[in-house]
Amino acid sequence: AQLHTIAKQKGKLYFGTATDNPELTDTPYTAILDDNQMFGQITAANSMKWDATEPSRGTFTFQAGDVIANLAKANGQLLRGHNCVWHNQLPSWVTAGQFSKTDLLSIVQTHCSTLVGHYKGQVSYCRSQVSWDVLNEIMNDDGTFAQDVFFDTTGTDYIATALRAARAADPNARLYMNDFNIEGPGAKSTAYQNLIRTLQSEGVPIDGIGMQSHFIVGELPPNIQQNIEAFTALGVEVAITELDVRMTLPSTPALLAQQQKDYQTVIEACNAVPKCIGVTLWDFTDKFSWVPGAFAGQGAACPWDENLQQKPAFSGIVSGF
């Protein structure tokens, strides 16, 4: 079974995966990654982030990101841009207290327009479908804004600045806000829905919501489909942008069976909503998953194991479509 083919048959735009530059020397890995019927879309896990693309003010370095963009082009895969503005993986020069509000808004404007402008037209296949995570993780779980350098210096003004800069740089790109813990209903989802209404009323471009979907086995939020529909009812599209389902190691047959169900549940929810346009894994193999590095004692979060063998979770994805 090839996941992109199956997703397309169900009316989705793509099924995709994140990947990262150091992994691309692994030939058995790239044999799966490069199969554009398995993955019709890729996201750079790190190499388009701010620290990688503007390490010092006004100096832009796109070499690593270009490797990912060129891979998508060579493979005939869509590219998702990730990301323009995020409080993590910032270069040290973007620091609180260093800039006035006017200065920082200008920095955000320059970063977003240069980054999005650089990748405009880089992917010839279905170019109009390129999406950008313009804003990443701008809210706390209680629905308040993250107290980061951007919010502390500009209030919420950086949000419109980033979105408008991205729109001007590539009018065909779909512009997203991307976050975790907005897959089910709750304070954070409600706050994003209110923000979308505000942006729309102010004429600020916003096209979609990315639900990262970093889940824990057996702990999916209820009513994912209903929550996707609450967003699409506002006129924006939804994408599942960073799906993985982690567990406390060691993995057991019971955990892998629950993980299979969890993957299926997520896919079913997206599949049921036409404006949920696609699903991206946050890498497809446990060999390169970010989970063990970020959550001590946890792992085995992906549909392929560390030997690049398909796990029960793979069948869960297939059944979910």
Q: Are 268 and 216 in contact (CB under 8 A)?
A: no
Measured from the Cβ of residue 200, the count of other Cβ atoms closer than 10 Å reads 14
Considering beta carbons, is residue 178 or 271 the nearer one to ligand XIL? 178
Contact 135, 159 (CB under 8 A): yes
Alpha carbon distance 14, 4 (integer Å): 6
Secondary structure tally for the chain: helices H, strands E: 12, 10
Residue 202: how many CB atoms within 10 A of its CB?
A: 8
Nearest residue (beta carbon) to ligand XIL: 290
Catalytic residue numbers, as ranges: 137, 242
Which residue's CB is nearer to ligand XIL, number 54 or number 261? 54
Beta carbon of residue 290, minimum distance to ligand XIL (angstroms, whole number): 3
Torsion over CA: 184, 185, 187, 192 (sign): positive
For residues 191 and 141, the answer to whether their CB atoms sit within 8 Å is no
276 contacts 240 by C-beta, under 8 angstroms: yes
- Do 132 and 116 form a contact (C-beta atoms < 8 A)? yes
Nearest approach in angstroms of CB 257 to ligand XIL is 26
Of residues 99 and 282, the one with the C-beta less far from ligand XIL: 282
3-state secondary structure (DSSP) of residue 148: coil
Q: Which amino acid is at 38?
A: M
Residue with smaller CB distance to ligand XIL, 131 or 136: 136
Measured from the CB of residue 292, what is the shortest distance to ligand XIL in angstroms?
Answer: 11
Using DSSP bridges, classify how beta strands 14-19 and 208-211 pair: parallel, antiparallel or unpaired: unpaired
Q: Shortest Cβ distance from residue 291 to ligand XIL (Å)?
A: 9
Report phi then psi at 51, rounded to 5.
Answer: -65, -30
What is the rounded CA–CA span in Å between residue 221 and residue 234? Answer: 21
Cβ neighbourhood burial of 152 (10 Å; 0-12, 13-18, 19+): middle
Q: Which residues bind ligand XIL (CB under 6 A)?
A: 45-46, 136, 212, 242, 290
Of 105, 215, 221, give the one whose Cα is nearest residue 165.
105
Q: How far is the CB of 2 from ligand XIL (least distance, A)?
A: 24
Closest to ligand XIL by CB, 46 vs 122, is 46
What six digits make up the tokens of 48?
Answer: 């388009």
Q: Decide whether 183 or 242 has the Cβ nearer to ligand XIL.
A: 242
CB of residue 95 to ligand XIL, shortest distance in Å: 19
**What SS3 state is found at 51?**
helix
